[in-house]
Amino acid sequence: MAEKKQTKNESFSSLDDNWETDVNILSNELAELDAEDNKTDDWTRLLGVSIKPNPLDDWDQLYNLNNQCALRNDCRKLANELKNKRSVPELESFLTLYCKKRGMDYVKDIGWLMILEKILLLNLPSAHEFNVFFAFTTKYIPKDTSPDAQIFDVFRLLLQYHDPQISNHLEALHCSPAMYTKNWFSTLFACSLSTETCHELWRVYIEQGDPFLVFHLAIVFLINAKEEILQVKRGEKAQACQILENMASQLSVEDVNDFFQLALHYSSQTPECIRKDFHYIIFGANFDEEVKEMQMNKMLCLPIPAVDLTANDEISSGNVNFFIVDCRSNADFDSGHFVSSFNLNCVSIVDEPEKFEIALNSLECYKTSRRAEDHYLILGYGSDEGDNYMNMLIGMFIQKGKPHVSFVQGGYKKLHDCIGQHNRWELIAMHSEEKCELCSHEKAAPKWGFFSKMKSAVSNTSNRMKERVEAVVFPIGDEKKGNEADHADSKQRHNKRYRQQSVFTIDENSDEELTPGGAAVDENPKEEILLSKEFTETFECQEVFRDGSINGHIALTRTHIYVLHDVPGKKGYVTTEARHALSTVIAVTSRRSVPEMLTFKLGYEMNGSSKITAVHKLYVPKAGECAKAVKLAIYALRPLPEATTS
């Protein structure tokens, strides 16, 4: 009976002896599915495209790019790489729409295919693939990686800042950064890494959310290969490039976290202002930034904006503290110098080299013993002629392999101006207005107040005013006169040169006519003017000059842009500072450090080159809205394309 009872109990459950193993396998499979879902969520969440619709579901299906044939051929190659898991028409639709969304034609060999291949291998839902690719390439991939692009100048300066020995050796090999970093930057290392390693690196990269890290990741590769690179002899630059390529390809998934920790270390040892100043040059929009004004290929070392030294109480930028070396003469140093700076008269490099060597050694000994972690910041005069000796000192430091060397952009002159603008004279020690040449120069310069400018404008004869306005409106007739009219000093803004018409009426021929006499300074009630039906948009602003600023407004009509000034001492009234046709707007730019500061450049084009006839620098609290409104108004003036008849 007992045996039968036992048999009955055994048959009560249908589970075999391996039921625990089956449950574990099922749990693992569910965990893998959850991991896949989390991976998809990570990419879409970090790139901010989780709820964006798929643009491929609704587009015109027009394959009409100028380089459409080259795009189709490249799509065939990509389809082969993907083992035909994606069709050529599907890939062509993807890249054609991508080019149209970015407003550019297809360009071969700039990394798009490699990036797209890696993203498609993520096996994301098809509804998210386009948005992930678009967000990733526009945020984290540099906008220009052509051989002469500024990104390579920035990298050269950063590499020299952290390891001048490698930088000097590669330059001696004539191995430019474009030769070994172009594919790294254009594909974010996808060209050198396995698919699994690339996906892990990209995931950590977008988690950090800092596009500028690409520079420090590249620097880590170079420093890890330092010993091999320094053994490469002249004339063998191809070998150096091969060493770096092999170094990158050896990175494994397990190495990624350590790789990023090293990159973050170098990032923390880079002045914070470098990221702020160079970010939009490398990743930003051309419409917003004056990217061509900074000639980085001619710089000896990293530039530090003078305004950064006056913005904080500490002499630092981010985690970096500066050891400031003032290269000016002893006399200039004694008449005023930045607090905590040290004087090293660099004229003695040539005049008294032995004395200079002693002074330099003493300074270096002090820095090593007291402020070893600080970074060198070299301060000169701020002029080409006066900074020759400063450049000699920078060259000496670089030749000796000293890391962390930078210079104050604009020198002491720019630093003096920034301190004056922020009224932080406590940052200049031993400052004497009587001895300071910069203060003496400012006192000697004529000061133009608002009413003195107004008086000068009214007192001009109508004939003289007509000659000046004709030089602006009709500059083509006389080349010499046109050149003279290209630029005006900010102190002449209230002169008749910029006044084309003062009344607030829309007249298509107003640019060819002139309101004589004192009409240019007519005062009008602000409320009545700003509420005029003829103005489509108005924005509060301040027009900034070298000697101060004036409150006012920017006002747009369908065809013109007005700059209005508040009347000092007469609240509620404005005058017309300038009136320009929208067709004369050459550029609207903003500063990296002060995005609210818009610069309007106006003029005309002749023989393919732009001639600037007027410039307005305006501080606009709603700068983004203002720039957009001007842009839309200009587009609205463009003629509509002629309808084609079948």
The single residue listed with the structure tokens 């890890």 is: 224
Please, which residues have CB within 8 angstroms of residue 279's CB and are 6 or more apart in sequence?
A: 211, 212, 592
Q: For 165, how many CA atoms within 13 A lie in the half-sphere containing its CB?
A: 12
Pairwise CA distance, residues 117 & 115, whole Å? 5
Read off the pLDDT band of 38 (50, 70, 90). Answer: low
Pairwise CA distance, residues 335 & 56, whole Å? 67
pLDDT at 493: 41
Q: For 174, how many CA atoms within 13 A lie in the half-sphere containing its CB?
A: 3
Q: Is the pLDDT of residue 350 over 90?
A: no
CB atoms within 10 A of CB 373: 11
Read off the pLDDT band of 497 (50, 70, 90). Answer: very low
SS3 600: strand
To 10 degrees, the CA torsion angle through 227, 233, 238, 241? 20
Reported as a single tens digit per residue, the pLDDT across 513-547 is: 333 333 345 688 888 888 877 888 899 999 988 77
The mean per-residue pLDDT over the stretch 291-306 comes to: 78
- List the strands of the sheet with 573-581, edge to edge: 524-525, 573-581, 560-566, 548-556, 537-545, 609-619, 597-606, 585-590
User: Encoding tokens for residue 460?
Assistant: 């001009």
Strand partners, 323: 376
Q: Is the pLDDT of residue 29 over 60?
A: no
Q: Is the pLDDT of residue 450 over 80?
A: no
- Tell me which residue of 469, 480, 481 sits closest to 514, measured CA to CA: 469
pLDDT at 373: 92
Residue environment code for 323-354, b if the CB has 16+ CB neighbours within 10 A, otherwise e:
bbbbbbbeebbebbbbeebbbbbbebbeeeee
Pairwise CA distance, residues 516 & 500, whole Å? 10
SS3 103: coil
Do residues 542 and 514 make contact, with C-beta atoms less than 8 angstroms apart? Answer: no
SS3 letters across 446-475 = CCCCHHHHHHHHHHCCHHHHHHHHHHHHCC
Phi and psi (nearest 5°) for 106? -70, 135
Query: What is the pTM for the complete model shown?
Result: 0.64
User: Encoding tokens for residue 639?
Assistant: 């003629």
pLDDT at 11: 45
Read off the pLDDT band of 220 (50, 70, 90). Answer: very high
Read off the pLDDT band of 16 (50, 70, 90). Answer: low
Write the DSSP symbol of residue 374.
P
CB atoms within 10 A of CB 222: 23
Pairwise CA distance, residues 292 & 611, whole Å? 17
